Amino acid sequence: MAATALPSQQARDRKKAFNKLWQVYLPVAIATIITLFPFYWMAVSSFKADAELYNVDANPLIISKWSNVTLDHYRFLWEETLFPRWMLNSILISVASTILSMICSVLAGYALGRLRFKGANIIGWVIFVAYLLPPTLLFIPLAQQVGTMGLLNSHWALILTYPTFLVPFSTWMLIGYFKGLPKELEESALVDGSTRLAAMWKIAIPLALPGLLSVAIFSFTLSWNEYIYALVFLGSAQLKTIPLGVVSELIRGDVFFWGSLMAGALLGSVPVAILYSFFVEYFVAGLTAGAVKG
């Protein structure tokens, strides 16, 4: 019986490995290829010499020979444009708007998720619906308000307007996350004489750290890649962000500097990729928990 059971066990193992290959590894491999393909194309295009880059007969997915590999596009980007300044502007605006939106979102999400008062659920849904409003409907009235405040063509115009689309979604995510936290710890702290604000700061926020990190990464990414508000509110080349500067300065009429455009797009995606690589586990855990608890 042992001799007959062994082939049966081997067959089951082979079938299990085969199913795992088709159900897990193959879909993951396909998704990875599809996700990374644009970055591969950007990288190949950014290192190609112009002679091959603009040759319609050349294969766009490979560099035909090593002599056509060049760093001229990156050199032009760093020396002939204000790309280093645009990167600093993007970092400053994204970090500042993320911090501002996180402060508002944590306070609003905690209040709506933990405090008991009438209309909390309705307010939460209204906040989420506000996130669904397209920026194309909001930038005109926002431009009027920013102009009235005298903030046009300044970084403060973006730092103060980005939370208008960051806070609604972040608050909605944190409402679901705070609702799922055990209340006993905060109630014990309140019984011992702690204030509600102290209980939130010392108990709720540390427990909600994965959700806070996922919301912060989401907010930073949206701020980093935003284009419409930056286009409307910023006019000076010194103040532009990476998405706006690369597009406006490397597209002149019907002339596209494709090599430098691809280099700028690739370098512009590096900070976000690094951020996700460090906090991907917290990001996935926060999004999953927030969605389930919400």
**CA atoms of 7 and 5, how far apart (whole Å):** 6
Q: Per this entry, what is the length of the chain?
A: 294
Q: Can you list the residues of the chain whose pLDDT is less than 70?
A: 1-7, 279-294
In order of their start, the domains of the chain are: 2-70 (no CATH), 81-293 (1.10.3720.10)
Cα Rg of the chain, angstroms: 25
**CA atoms of 87 and 242, how far apart (whole Å):** 6
Torsional sign, CA 63, 68, 69, 73? negative
Structure tokens at 279: 């906090």
**Between 83-114 and 120-131, two packed helices, what is the crossing angle to 10 degrees?**
160
In one-letter notation, the amino acid at residue 258 is W
Q: What is the pLDDT of residue 64?
A: 80
The pTM assigned to this predicted structure is: 0.82
